[in-house]
Amino acid sequence: MSASPDKSLPPLTPAQSEHAGRVMARVRAALAASGGWLSFSDYLRIVLYEPGLGYYSAGAEKLGPAGDFITAPELSALFAHCLARQCAALLKPPGAAVLELGAGSGRLAAELLCELSQLGALPEHYYILEVSASLRAQQEARIAGLPAVLAQRVEWLEALPASPISGVVLANEVADALPFERFVSTADGCLARGVALGDNGALQSVDRPASEPLQRAYAHLIAQLGSALPAGYSSEICALLGPWVGSLAAVLARGALLLFDYGLGASELYHPQRDAGSLRCHYRHRAHDDPFLYPGLQDITAWVDFSRVAEAADHAGLEVAGYCTQAAFLLATGIESELAAITEPRAHARAVSQARQLLLPGEMGEIFKAIALTRHWPGPLEGFRLQDLRRLL
């Protein structure tokens, strides 16, 4: 753990302290086995994904007031209602399906199914791929409360579908959680910023020569940017992003892959003034930048490089059919009419407050982006009619 935890953060309970200790023991064992240094991606694989220990694999509350952060679907049904309007067009062919990755509490799935039913565009199947056993249990409980005609369409998967689907693949705040590397630029290339133990036994960042894969990824980034980054510039690279998009493309026969996440195109994400990177940690709705605090109990993410997403989509034979801010997507898919339809004063006031969080630049409106990657889909997509930011990719 960090030598001196931030006193502004809520303290750990005894059970949380015990869990963090177990995760820390696993990290120490991995450090010992690797000669005293771990790449940052290997560190993330332990503290985020290690079975029974990692943040996404263990049973701690993650979403909502008792959790660490809140996503757009968890904040308001407005998000699902607007998204349903976009999905409805993509689900018109008979046999169409939805595949949702990382479905959170299951609220988006439940509300999407209800709204798609109202729109006469129910998918034949609604697949959910979830790595967290605790979140899957929440999802199953929520879906069980739906009418049978909706609940019977939902199926949980252990891996991506064996056969391609036609319809929609959804990933809301999934890409930012993929394990990533940290780097520091030098006159000759870059160093890998990994993890080691300090003299006091606490975890700390230590720079080592970059691995060949990281060197290649960094060289590709510099070629993409068209100029070198200043010496000492630090940031993150997610080499898994391209293969991840490729794997999703492989299961899409026809329709669209819709991604929602916080991020930027490469030229903005790696602007010389953004020289400290975008790594963010979330614990009990507090954001901070210490990835060694409370291992296994906090979320650790980095902003998504949407240029890398677009490039991977092109390599996989997908078309980048749209890229815009979340605010533009929601306005294009009718969030204003959704608000106007709520007439009860208290409910309307609550919905307006939620809409502000979804739309305002200082909240989720501009930080979050929506991108549509399509295959064999000829027409325009409603959610991207108001804004086209593809020139920034």
- Assess contact for 40 and 191: CB atoms under 8 A: no
How far from each other are the two terminal CA atoms of the chain, in whole angstroms? Answer: 37
The string of pLDDT tens digits covering residues 43-73 is 999 999 999 899 988 755 555 555 556 899 9
- Assess contact for 40 and 181: CB atoms under 8 A: yes
Asked whether the CA dihedral 189, 209, 315, 173 is positive or negative, the reply is negative
Ramachandran region of residue 18, left (φ > 0), alpha (ψ -120 to 50) or beta?
Answer: alpha
**38-50 burial code (b ≥16 CB/10 A, e <16):** bbbbbbbebbbbb
Helix (H) or strand (E) holding 38: none
The string of pLDDT tens digits covering residues 174-222 is 999 999 999 999 999 999 999 999 999 999 999 999 999 999 999 999 9
Task: Confirm whether 245 is domain-assigned.
Answer: no
Task: Confirm whether 358 is domain-assigned.
Answer: yes
| Domain around 117 | 72-156+170-177+256-265+304-392
Task: Confirm whether 138 is domain-assigned.
Answer: yes
Task: Confirm whether 209 is domain-assigned.
Answer: no
Task: Confirm whether 207 is domain-assigned.
Answer: no
Q: How many helices (H) and strands (E) does the chain have?
A: 14, 15
Task: Provide the domain count of the chain.
Answer: 1
**303-323 burial code (b ≥16 CB/10 A, e <16):** bbbbbbbbbbbeebebebbbb
- Assess contact for 371 and 306: CB atoms under 8 A: yes
- Assess contact for 299 and 281: CB atoms under 8 A: yes
Task: Confirm whether 325 is domain-assigned.
Answer: yes
Per-position pLDDT tens, the chain of length 393? 554 455 567 788 898 899 999 999 999 999 999 999 999 999 999 999 999 899 988 755 555 555 556 899 999 999 999 999 999 999 987 899 999 999 999 999 999 999 999 999 999 999 999 988 888 999 999 999 999 999 999 999 999 999 999 999 999 999 999 999 999 999 999 999 999 999 999 999 999 999 999 999 999 999 999 999 999 999 999 999 999 999 999 999 999 999 999 999 999 999 999 999 999 999 887 889 999 999 999 999 999 999 999 999 999 999 999 999 999 999 999 999 999 999 999 999 999 999 999 999 989 999 999 999 999 998 899 999 999 999 999
Task: Confirm whether 163 is domain-assigned.
Answer: no
pTM across the whole model: 0.94
| CATH assignment of the domain containing 120 | 3.40.50.12710
- Assess contact for 382 and 329: CB atoms under 8 A: no
Task: Confirm whether 144 is domain-assigned.
Answer: yes
